[in-house]
């Protein structure tokens, strides 16, 4: 698992890429760690606020340079993007070396591990700072043996019609709603941004394929300790041409009791930088429910129990109409958990968890 990240004050580097869809890590840090972000560096939006750029985030400043950000007394520089391919933009190297020289720790979720970069590692050692590569998996991961299905807690995996469609955000919003009701909830972070926010986890897309399921299994077992509900952060999509392998491994390893399906009504083809997937039509919500439930059915029943929508690019009336349409179409609780709150999905999980507790003796008998 990752070292403790919960004490850092972050200056976020998102030069030239700060925006609603281009800086996922930055946006999630702003949304879920607002008290620990001091500002965002992106000269193309300098002088504006984060609220101006993202539509949330309040008066956090967008700054023209690292030097401006250092005046706000951060303790760490967070790489605010997770680009396709996971490489560090070479033009960012001077900012990293300057940050390390100024005594900032570096936190990155790239596939390219900055701690393995000879120049950056030597500079970090010289200045006594740490480079945290959030995606670096632990050693000694096993293959999955299906143990996640045996936990007492009710486990929920967020799945999606596409990647980058709100699976982590939905999970975290539901987590907060459940904890507000005094539910004991564990959040299993499976991606670099979830690890940043939760403080622990395994980035399953950096795990050798045979061990993705084992990593997911370990996460569920740990998250279930002392908790009644486990929320597993989803990754990718079972139908995405680029990322479906990770999604299937996570589904089979986490062995969820139920799923929340995430969907963006206005999206018509899979997400990807440069739009390489425009040739493929995304499934409808009912089609995707069937795909997800069928993929786990040989291992255990795991129904989709709710639908989470992303509606930021729709006006309020359109969004509410779409929520009502999906609810009528599927019969499932449906909401945009950011825009309209996650209560409908939290309610569905609490009902399902209570059903599992009532049936648990019979379930135990069936597995021995």
Enumerate the domain spans of the chain: 10-133, 147-367
More confident residue, 366 or 144: 144
Residue 33 per-residue DSSP state: -
The stretch 157-171 carries a mean pLDDT of 96
Q: Give the pLDDT score at 24.
A: 87
pLDDT tens-digit series, residues 182-199: 999 999 999 999 999 998
Residue 121 per-residue DSSP state: H
Fold for the domain defined by 10-133: Rossmann fold (3.40.50)
pTM (predicted TM-score): 0.90
The DSSP secondary structure of 13-64, one letter per residue, reads: E-TTT-STTT-HHHHHHHHH-GGGEEEEE-GGGTTSBHHHHHS-STTPBEES
Q: Which residue has the tokens 């399921």?
A: 213
- Residue 366 is encoded by which pair of tokens? 């069936």
CB of 364 within 8 A of CB of 337?
A: no
How many beta carbons lie within 10 A of that of residue 66, not counting itself?
21
Q: Give the pLDDT score at 89.
A: 81
Residue 361 has pLDDT above 70, yes or no: no
Tell me what percent of the chain is helix, strand and coil, each rounded to the nearest 5.
40, 15, 45
Q: Give the pLDDT score at 328.
A: 98
Q: Give the pLDDT score at 362.
A: 52
Maximum C-alpha span of the chain: 63
- Burial (CB < 10 A; 0-12, 13-18, 19+), residue 252, is buried
Confidence class of residue 20 from pLDDT cuts 50, 70 and 90?
Answer: confident
Question: 110: Cβ–Cβ under 8 A, 6 or more apart, which residues?
Answer: 79, 82, 83, 86, 87, 88, 133, 135, 192
Confidence class of residue 364 from pLDDT cuts 50, 70 and 90?
Answer: very low
Name the residue among 84, 88, 85, 112 with its Cα closest to residue 99.
88
Residue 1 has pLDDT above 90, yes or no: no
Q: Give the pLDDT score at 317.
A: 98
Dihedral sign (CA 333, 174, 229, 165): positive
Residue 304 has pLDDT above 80, yes or no: yes
- Burial (CB < 10 A; 0-12, 13-18, 19+), residue 59, is exposed
CB of 228 within 8 A of CB of 353?
A: yes
Residue 39 has pLDDT above 50, yes or no: yes
The stretch 298-305 carries a mean pLDDT of 97
Look up the CATH number of domain 147-367.
3.40.50.300
The stretch 91-98 carries a mean pLDDT of 93
Return the bridge partners of 131, or none.
106
Dihedral sign (CA 188, 194, 198, 200): positive
pLDDT tens-digit series, residues 76-94: 999 998 766 667 888 889 9
CB of 80 within 8 A of CB of 26?
A: yes
| Same fold yes or no, 10-133 and 147-367 | yes
Mean pLDDT of all residues in the chain? 94
Q: Give the pLDDT score at 2.
A: 45
Q: How far apart are CA 141 and CA 107, in angstroms?
A: 23
Residue 180 has pLDDT above 90, yes or no: yes
């Amino acid at each position: 698992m990752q070292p403790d990240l919960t004490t850092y004050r972050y200056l976020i580097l998102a030069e030239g890429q700060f925006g609603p869809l281009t800086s996922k890590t930055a946006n999630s840090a702003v949304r879920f760690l607002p008290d620990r972000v001091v500002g965002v560096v992106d000269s193309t939006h300098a002088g504006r606020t984060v609220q101006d750029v993202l539509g949330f985030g309040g008066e956090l400043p967008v700054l023209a340079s690292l030097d401006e950000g250092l005046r706000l007394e951060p303790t760490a520089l967070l790489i605010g993007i997770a680009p396709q391919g996971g490489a560090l933009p070479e033009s960012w190297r001077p900012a990293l070396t300057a940050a390390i020289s100024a005594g900032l720790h570096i936190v990155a979720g790239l596939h390219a591990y900055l701690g393995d970069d000879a120049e950056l590692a030597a500079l970090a050692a010289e200045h006594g700072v740490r480079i945290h590569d959030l995606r670096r998996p632990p050693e000694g991961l096993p293959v999955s043996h299906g143990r996640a299905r045996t936990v007492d807690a009710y486990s929920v995996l967020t799945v999606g019609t596409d990647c980058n469609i709100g699976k982590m955000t939905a999970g975290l919003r539901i987590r907060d709603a459940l904890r507000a009701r005094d539910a004991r909830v564990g959040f299993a972070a499976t991606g670099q941004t979830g690890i940043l926010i939760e403080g622990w986890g395994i980035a399953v897309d950096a795990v050798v394929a045979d061990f993705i399921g084992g990593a997911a299994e370990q996460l569920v077992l740990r998250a279930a300790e002392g908790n009644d509900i486990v929320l597993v952060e989803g990754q990718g999509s079972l139908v995405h041409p680029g990322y479906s392998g990770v999604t299937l491994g996570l589904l089979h390893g986490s062995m969820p009791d139920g799923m929340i399906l995430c969907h963006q009504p206005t999206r018509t083809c899979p997400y990807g930088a440069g739009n390489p997937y425009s040739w493929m039509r995304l499934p409808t919500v009912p089609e995707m429910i069937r795909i997800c439930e069928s993929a786990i059915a040989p291992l255990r029943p795991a129904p989709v129990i709710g639908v989470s929508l992303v509606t930021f690019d729709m006006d309020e009336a359109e969004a509410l109409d779409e929520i009502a349409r999906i609810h009528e179409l599927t019969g499932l609780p449906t909401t945009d958990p950011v825009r309209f709150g996650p209560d409908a999905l939290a309610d569905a999980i609490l009902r399902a968890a209570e059903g599992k507790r009532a049936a648990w003796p019979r379930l135990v008998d069936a597995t021995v």
